[in-house]
Amino acid sequence: MSINVALIYGSTREGRFCDKVAEWAASEIASRSEFSVDAIDPAALALPNRHKREESSELADLKQRIGKADAFVVVTPEYNHSYPAALKFLIDSVREQWQAKPVGFVSYGGVSGGLRAVEHLRLVFAELHAVTTRDTVSFANVWAQFDGGGKLLQPGAAQKAMATMLGQLHWWAIAVREARRVKPYGQSAA
């Protein structure tokens, strides 16, 4: 059963390291036949710089892409013990399309490897009625883990962590997709 994964870039900073980590993650996801990948990069989207009453065509397109996804992998750096503002804006720009879908994380940063950002994101996605995988992929001191061309220098542990996270993501995606088919999420019992 094919799972449509939206891979979401968390950073929009100029010269960001997110490209290397996200490209590695996309390659790992695409290497598994049970997944297809749609990369969503807020730096490439023409989203408004604030929430407006009228919905722009770019925002409508984002909602459609999030709605088509069966699952999400968020690639996030850690900025000041949390996640970037651009990622928060992207998440908050969409509502129902996140519901009853699983979210996995690939984080990166300094000594913590972005894990504090992930813990904050878990709270946000719980509020949006999404379920997060327990296991994540984390790159501590990320700048020493990739070469100049974006190749992971010692991929073994990261690939193992990714396989574990994707296994959980796949299970949840199938389970909640079937549950939504039987009864749409949020529909009352009465």
Q: Rounded to 10 degrees, what is the CA torsion of 42, 46, 49, 51?
A: -90
- Nearest to residue 151, comparing CAs of 44, 34, 28, 36? 28
Beta bridge partners of 4: 36
- Nearest to residue 23, comparing CAs of 43, 37, 35? 37
Give pLDDT, residue 46. Answer: 83
Query: What backbone phi and psi angles, to 5 degrees, belong to 127?
Result: -65, -30
- Kindly give the confidence (pLDDT) of every residue in the chain, 190 residues in length, as a single tens digit, with 9 standing for 90 and above: 799 999 999 999 999 999 999 999 999 999 999 999 999 999 999 877 777 777 788 899 999 999 999 999 999 999 999 999 999 999 999 999 999 999 999 999 999 999 999 999 999 999 999 999 999 999 999 999 999 999 999 999 999 999 999 999 999 999 999 999 999 998 766 5
State the alpha helices, DSSP H only, in 11-84.
Answer: 18-30, 57-68
Give pLDDT, residue 189. Answer: 60
Whether pTM exceeds 0.75: yes
Residue type, 149: G
Residues 6 or more apart whose CB falls under 8 angstroms from that of 37 comprise 5, 7, 26, 29, 30
Beta strands in the chain (DSSP E): 3-9, 35-40, 71-77, 102-108, 131-132, 137-139
Residue in the block written with tokens 């010692």: 154
Residue 168 to residue 117: CA distance in whole angstroms: 20
> Are 77 and 19 contacting, i.e. CB atoms less than 8 angstroms apart?
no
3-182 CATH = 3.40.50.360
